[in-house]
Amino acid sequence: MAGEQDDPIQAAIAGEIRLLDPEVRSSAVLMGELMDPEFTEIGASGRRWDRLSLITALSQDPDPSVVPIAVSDMEGRLLAPGIVHLTYVSDNNGRRARRSSIWRRSAQGWRLYFHQGTLSAD
């Protein structure tokens, strides 16, 4: 069985799932380990985020009672060596969004390079 080190799609999926974990989201250190220094995001709100602003916003006021974000329809594609594109649907207490992430391999491992969320009624 191939491990995360051998399977880039599984490595990206594992990283994405970790980033959705409330414990990771509340830790600037843990988030920083999974996010590329050049990370950018276009959030479901339409706001553009960079690495520092997103880490600060999410880890600034952690709430231990936060319900984990539910994920469905996760799919991955290897776009090029060291580049994986993930798509999935998230459900955050009824707020559904279609999501797209690009992960790239670096000397430090797989890191999230770009993310976009689009609110969805379905």
Encode pLDDT of 53-75 as tens digits.
999 988 886 665 567 889 999 99
What pLDDT, on a 0 to 100 scale, did the predictor assign at position 64?
58
What pLDDT, on a 0 to 100 scale, did the predictor assign at position 2?
43
Q: What is the mean pLDDT of the chain?
A: 90
Q: How many domains does the chain have?
A: 1
**Assigned domain for 26 exists:** yes
**Assigned domain for 64 exists:** no
Between 10 and 122, the more confident residue is 10
pTM, to two decimals:
0.88
**Assigned domain for 3 exists:** no
Residue 78: which domain range? 8-58+70-119
**Assigned domain for 45 exists:** yes
Q: Are 67 and 34 in contact (CB under 8 A)?
A: no
Residues 6 or more apart whose CB falls under 8 angstroms from that of 109 comprise 11
**Assigned domain for 1 exists:** no
Cα–Cα dist 69/100, whole Å? 15
What CATH number has the domain bearing residue 92?
3.10.450.50
pLDDT surpasses 50 at 1: no
